[in-house]
Amino acid sequence: MTAVTRAAVRREHILKEAVRQGLLDPDRSSLAGFVDLDGVAATVGALHEAFPGAPGLPDVTHTFAAKANCLVPVLRELEGHGMGCEVATAGELARALAAGFPADRIVFDSPAKSRAELERALALGVAVNADSFQELERIDGLLAGRAPASRIGVRLNCQVGGGAIAAMSTATHTSKFGVPLTDPGNRERLLRAFAERPWLTWVHTHTGSQGCPLDLMARGVAQAVDFADQVSAAFGRGRVEGIDIGGGLPVNFADDEVTPTFADYVGQLRAHAPRLFEGGYRIVTEFGRSLLAKNGFMAAYVEYTKSAGGRPIAVTHAGVQVATRTVFGPDAWPLRIEAHDRHGAAKRGRPVRQDVAGPACFAGDLLARDRALPPLEPGDLVVVPDTGAYYFSTPFHYNSLPEPAVHGVRAGADGRVEFTLLRPAQDPWQLTERDGVRAPSREPAGVPSGGAR
């Protein structure tokens, strides 16, 4: 039997309290997400510890990639722990500002920044990483010879290759992101860009995330450091003020072990890019999934069970609307499933191979296929760990399925669990208001006159 981890015991304790306090209820709240705020604080602490700051060492700013969990209360929590925020859209920028991040701790990355978005970011003093030569020219026009309030960099595609998940690999030879560093003539053109633009003072790179090995990521950063050194050699020491090394630390979805760690990654950076740590460049990081994934889980009730072709199927309220990547890419994004009874206690029965299905109206809406779990019954709860990033916080509105409530959690040493509502559940009867249509009455119509009684 698999050993029960401390993290699993904590999830079970939180789940029992959520049921007891009515945050999960089969008739009123059949699906909810939970963010372990104590865990978030510990993970941010581990990040700061891995990149120590001290006299003679580089100035390091850690930003959180808002796309990983853009709920304003979550962002506000991270800001309180000294994080900055990396945004990729105007909507994420608005959320970062609402969460209280000062403009000088926000970084704007996107391959498709509009003129209006750039104007707003530059006016606020938000850091901008230009993604192309054309974007640099657009910034030229917007600045019109003025010195920017923002620090401005250029994103390099260091073209070091991809990892196991192509969609998550951003440093391939044909990636849509950044200026391809090894394409003929681009290195020289980049040097000219720095020569012509005294306000261009940063270099940015990002190799990818899930599925990318640490040494690949570190080799990408090493290429960026080498280019920054080349700029400094050409135009003087200090011409490049800092290097934004991106984020992308992969997450272990197989069990509760936190691996790789931020310290593991720093070890690879020291091996491949030692100049990064000699104090000549400021550093910005943009971690997302690795800060939140293991600090969140979702729980959903089993509504029905059935058998098809001899295989049991548990139909739950968690599916493609909260686990989009897993449903559409199950081999690349597998998730663990834990079986619990209606009170939240872990089930210990003899495992049975079964499917765990979601509520959406297509056959592929499955959280797990042929998974060995204790037999699930109507009214049981399934828990899906490692979903604090990208899952319930980034819902997919298939079938007009509503967004679930998300609760922040703090658990004291005395066993008390305190919940904070981070996002209220969406009322399905109010969805039409997004279409500019008044919500219909949820009350059933009366029996017509003369009808059956």
**Within 13 Å and on the Cβ side, how many CA atoms surround 425?**
16
**Within 13 Å and on the Cβ side, how many CA atoms surround 33?**
35
pTM (2 d.p.): 0.94
Helix axis angle, 115-124 to 90-98, nearest 10°: 30
Can you list the domains of the chain with their CATH numbers? Answer: 6-36+294-435 (2.40.37.10), 38-290 (3.20.20.10)
**pLDDT by residue (tens digit) across 233-280?**
999 999 999 999 999 999 999 999 999 999 999 999 999 999 999 999
Count of C-beta atoms within a 10 Å radius of residue 374: 18
**pLDDT by residue (tens digit) across 135-144?**
999 999 999 9
Q: How far apart are CA 423 and CA 31, in angstroms?
A: 13
**Residue 449: what pLDDT?**
47
Nearest C-alpha neighbor of 286 from the set 73, 92, 34: 92
Beta bridge partners of 420: 408
**Residue 136: what pLDDT?**
98
Helix H, strand E, coil C: the string for 366-418 is: EEEEEEEECCCCCCCEEEEECCCCCCCCCCCCHHHCCCCEEEEEEECCCCCEE
Q: How far apart are CA 278 and CA 140, in angstroms?
A: 32
Q: Can you spell out the DSSP letters for 213-238?
A: -HHHHHHHHHHHHHHHHHHHHHH-TT
**Residue 1: what pLDDT?**
43
Report, as ranges of residue numbers, the positions in the chain whose pLDDT lies below 70. Answer: 1-2, 53-57, 443-453
SS3 84: strand
**Residue 52: what pLDDT?**
77
**Residue 209: what pLDDT?**
94
